[in-house]
Amino acid sequence: MTDPVAPAPAARALPVVPARRDPRPGIAGLTEAEVVALVGELGEPAFRSRQVADAAWRSGAADWDEVTTLARPLRAALAERLRFDTVAATTIRVAEGSTTEKALHALSDGRLVESVLMHYPGGADRRERNTLCISSQAGCAVGCPFCATGELGFERDLEVAEIIDQVRHASRRMVAPGRHLTNVVFMGMGEPLLALDAVLDAAAALTDPARFGLGARHITISTSGVVPGIERLTLLRPQWTLAISLHAARDPLRDLLVPLNRRWPVADVVSAARAYGEATGRRVSYEYVMIDGINDTATDADAVGRLLRSSGAHVNCIPMNTVAHTPWQASPPARIAAFADRLRAGGLGVTVRRNRGQEVGAACGQLAAEQAGEPPAPTVARRRELLEAASAAALRGERSFEPAPAGLGPERRQPGRPAGPRRPATVARRRPAPSRGR
């Protein structure tokens, strides 16, 4: 069921003209010590730092002008150094009886990122949940061909405050209906483990009782399989849930569906994820987007079963959201059910998920892709053709000769592991729309 697609009352129009990036950091990205130091530099007494932090984290204000607990000259001095909010403008679309709210945020340089707020009402045996899905990058370098963000290509990492401000925005919007955020998932645009420094700082702020104050167990980080990032997390042992975007258990197919598999093969990803599970005592979950005729056969299910056997992992099967540039569709419900049953028979925990907010383009990056404009028809047709050829080869079991995507970080080949096969990239990226300032 779809509600009429309407902007929320507080929504401001997105800027048409791209701007230069605002050099002032956002207040939300500052640690407590940094706020104390800044307040000292401004010649204010130390107790003001608590008031400044409260303005950012407790007040519900959307701008320095609304922070009436601070004198006007101090507000002006702070505004010169810091942005109260790093999001320049937001448009909202609502769906599913207002239980799903999709926000498209314009950043100071005109880049667009998305967050999705999902409300799950409570019941006799469960508490109400309000989950926000946030972005860590504008665009993404990994380039999964079923993903609208992958199609945009990589634009830039988000600043710490730009990540957190998606959460502060959602929190402010929840005051009126009397709700509060219970979960944050890094499953929006971008690959969080390729922006790990900022993601760690953002998560620290979100879980700090003096700042946002969410329990660490209420944070999920999803990765397409950046092995060094998973290893770094394992050393830090956070209590977050780690979700691995698996989508295929066989390398030839995963080379195509999740192109970083050409750098970090699926067995290495799963073994890094197992180590994370063992170090943290947290169950790792695996996301599996179901694509009709591509990764949904009994053979695929058996390969997943063998790969994850005795890992205590949980698999979420998600019907693919249709995106403009691929010939692929979601698997039919009966095939998804049969796939899930086969995984269960192999001893895995399985949930079949709905992809919420699909009708408002709520899958990863779809609204931003819409704003970027349709690529020219011949580009789409060529890309579809190449994907069809590549998927036919993958289904025959041939490994990809494409190089791993650029932008995955420095090569760190393990001793004894040969370099992957190489041949020039053939699937062309969409040209960025001129109105987006690139």
Chain residues in the site for ligand SF4 (CB under 6 A) = 140, 142-144, 147, 149-150, 189-191, 224, 245, 364
Just list the catalytic residues: 114, 364
Interface with ligand SAH, residue 146, by CB under 6 A: yes
**Smallest gap from residue 280 Cβ to ligand SF4 (A):** 22
113 vs 147 by CB, closer to ligand SAH: 147
Interface with ligand SAH, residue 287, by CB under 6 A: yes
| Residue entry with tokens 């490994």 | 399
**Smallest gap from residue 392 Cβ to ligand SF4 (A):** 21
CA angle 101, 22, 112 (to 5 degrees): 30
Contact pattern for ligand SAH over residues 291 through 320, marking x by CB under 6 A: ---------------------------x-x
> Taking Cα atoms as reference points, which of 91, 87, 89, 182 lies closest to residue 130?
182
Cα–Cα dist 313/352, whole Å: 15
Contact pattern for ligand SAH over residues 320 through 339, marking x by CB under 6 A: xx-x----------------
Contact pattern for ligand SAH over residues 92 through 131, marking x by CB under 6 A: ----------------------------------------
Site for ligand SAH in 166-195 (CB under 6 A): 187, 191
Cα–Cα dist 366/93, whole Å: 12
Stretch that binds ligand SAH, among 24-32, 140-148, 173-181, 420-428 (CB under 6 A): 140-148
Q: How far, CA to CA in Å, does 126 sit from each of 109, 122, 129, 352?
A: 42, 5, 9, 19
Partner whose binding site includes residue 143, from ligand SF4, ligand SAH, none (CB under 5 to 8 Å by kind)? ligand SF4
DSSP H or E segment with residue 95:
strand 87-95
Cα–Cα dist 331/353, whole Å: 13
φ and ψ at residue 318, rounded to 5 degrees: -125, 120
- Name the pairing type of β-strands 100-107 and 87-95: antiparallel
Residue 406 DSSP SS3? coil
CA angle 194, 324, 434 (to 5 degrees): 70
Q: How far, CA to CA in Å, does 28 sit from each of 19, 68, 171, 180?
A: 21, 18, 13, 18
110 vs 150 by CB, closer to ligand SF4: 150
Stretch that binds ligand SAH, among 41-49, 139-147, 292-300, 367-375 (CB under 6 A): 139-147
Cα–Cα dist 389/269, whole Å: 26
Partner whose binding site includes residue 295, from ligand SAH, ligand SF4, none (CB under 5 to 8 Å by kind)? none
> Taking Cα atoms as reference points, which of 227, 220, 219 lies closest to residue 243?
220
Site for ligand SAH in 209-248 (CB under 6 A): 222-224, 245
Query: Applying CB under 6 A, which residues contact ligand SAH?
Result: 140, 146-147, 187, 191, 222-224, 245, 287, 289, 318, 320-321, 323, 355, 363-364
